[in-house]
Structures are given as structure tokens and as C-alpha cells.
A and B are shown apart, each in its own frame.
Chain A
């Protein structure tokens, strides 16, 4: 089981408490699609993704970015049982969406960079470490039901 220090819990809830989901969600997902273009494979039905500008202004991608970011709320509310919390979502991503689990990490990295850009130097090394640990646990949980 994952052990969280009090400091880590405080850092992670602090980041989410101040998070502008409407802004960060779309930015993180669109950045992922631009930096790792192969991830666009899952969004064939989302319309125009021909270039960075199109991706950044695509409303369906923006909406989906918010959905994905809110998906992290589940882990935030169940930090001591993230594995079980994502069991259904893991099955969904494996059986229905067929997402390569490597892509979860890539989205996580983009999210980290978007948050770093928003917070500036307030996003300290300790905060980065705690946040990336949180994301790593979520990514692991999401990949668990693949077979």
C-alpha cells in the first residue's frame, strides 16, 4: 500500500484546491496531443486536430480535458485506496477505449508542466515530487486491469 506523509497529503490537496480545472484540464490534454502526437489516435471522432492551433481551439478536446482532470478527484478523495478506486476506469481504458498505458504517463507529464507554468517558482521541488508521486500511483492504478 502507498504511504503518504502528512506533508505530501497537504501538498497534493493544496494543489487541487487552487486548481482552475476549466483552464488546466484543456491545456494539459491539448499539450499532450501536440507534444506526443500519436496520442491523437484516441480522438479520431473529435474533429479537427490537424495542427497545434486546431487542437488548442477544439472545444471537444477542451471539454474532455476537464473530464479527465476531474477524474483525478477520485484519487484525491481516496488517497489510501487509489488502486481500488480506479478499478472500473482501468477496465474502461483497457477494454473499451484501448488506451496504451504509456500514454497515461505522458499526459501526467504534460499536466505537471502546465501546473508548473501556472504556479511558477511556487511549484517547489517538494511539491513536484509529491505531485508526481500522486500521478504515478494513479497511472499505476489505471494500468492495473489490463490483461
Chain B
């Protein structure tokens, strides 16, 4: 399910609009991940605070959205563009790739709450494809 030119254009346009809220989206999406899919918390057992106001959660959400921003800028070759991040996730973090799909869903939910008029079904399918391709690129170096 590769990205068409239309998908890429839609994602870039949507990103341009939501970019200013990227940090908020990241923190909120991460907190929703922990609340809705508690098993995801195992990767953060070293944090003392995983609550909604946690500085660690907010900072990490910002970092994650930085990765999404990178992906948008490398949308024409996600595998190559995310190679380093993939190696980090594969060899150091060893996050089960199943979690990428769960976080992608939470990101979509947050965008829906903040930008309901913009996440039309047409935009949703493009963004869903983009996040799926991002997740695939992030899994590239796993095995």
C-alpha cells in the first residue's frame, strides 16, 4: 500500500497545518497509548511518572513527533530516511513493532480531537497509509 503522489501531497498539507501543535499531539498520543494499551508502558519502566502531566511523557512525545516530522521531510524514501531511527529501535530500544500501529492509532485520535474538520475520511486514509509506511520503515532493520 505505497504512497501515491496524492497521498504525499495530502500528508504534507495536513502536516503543515498541524505542525504547530506537534509537541502537544506527541505528549497526548503517548499518554493515550499508555492508558489504552497498558502493555506499552513496559518500555518506560525506568520513568517514575507516566501521568498526563509528566514532564518525561511530554518530552518524549515531542521527540516522537520530531521523528514524524523527519518522516514527512523524507516522504519520498522513508526506508532510507528513517534508517538510523530504525537501527536505534531495532538494536537498542527493541520495541516490538506491533506498538507502532497502536501509537499511530493514538496519533490519529489526537488529530481528530484537535482538527476534526481537517481529518476528513479522505485525509484519514492518506495519513493512515503514511503512518503505516513510516512504521514499516522503522521496522526495516529488525531482521
Query: Which of A34, A56, A113 touches B112 (beta carbons < 8 Å)?
Result: A113
Q: Is the CB of A52 within 8 A of B122?
A: yes
A17 to B73 Cα, complex, angstroms? 43
Q: Which of B27-64 contact A (CB under 8 A)?
A: 28, 31-32, 34-36, 52
Q: Is the CB of B116 within 8 A of A30?
A: no
Q: Identify which of A113, A114, A121 gathers the most chain B CB atoms within 10 Å of its CB.
A: A113
Q: Is the CB of A129 within 8 A of B35?
A: yes
Query: Which of B105, B113, B121 touches A120 (beta carbons < 8 Å)?
Result: B113
Q: List 10 A-B contacts (CB under 8 A).
A: A34-B124, A35-B128, A52-B121, A52-B122, A114-B112, A116-B109, A123-B109, A123-B113, A125-B35, A128-B109
In the complex, B16 has a CB within 8 A of chain A:
no
What chain A residues lie within 8 Å of B124 (beta carbons)? 31, 34-35, 113
What chain A residues lie within 8 Å of B18 (beta carbons)? none
What chain A residues lie within 8 Å of B121 (beta carbons)? 30-31, 34-35, 52, 55-56
List 11 other contacts, CB 8 Å, given A34-B125, A114-B112.
A31-B124, A35-B125, A52-B122, A109-B105, A113-B109, A116-B116, A120-B114, A125-B32, A128-B32, A128-B106, A129-B36
Q: Is the CB of A113 within 8 A of B108?
A: yes
**Distance (Å) between the CB of A140 and the closest chain B CB?**
16
CB nearest neighbor in A for B129: A35
In the complex, A126 has a CB within 8 A of chain B:
yes
Whether A118 touches B116, Cβ cut-off 8 Å, given contacts A35-B124, A112-B109, A113-B109, is: yes
CB nearest neighbor in A for B117: A117
**Distance (Å) between the CB of B97 and the closest chain A CB?**
18
What chain A residues lie within 8 Å of B110 (beta carbons)? 116
In the complex, B95 has a CB within 8 A of chain A:
no
What chain A residues lie within 8 Å of B35 (beta carbons)? 125-126, 128-129
A118 to B31 Cα, complex, angstroms? 20
CB nearest neighbor in A for B29: A125
In the complex, A84 has a CB within 8 A of chain B:
no
A127 to B61 Cα, complex, angstroms? 20
**Distance (Å) between the CB of B110 and the closest chain A CB?**
8
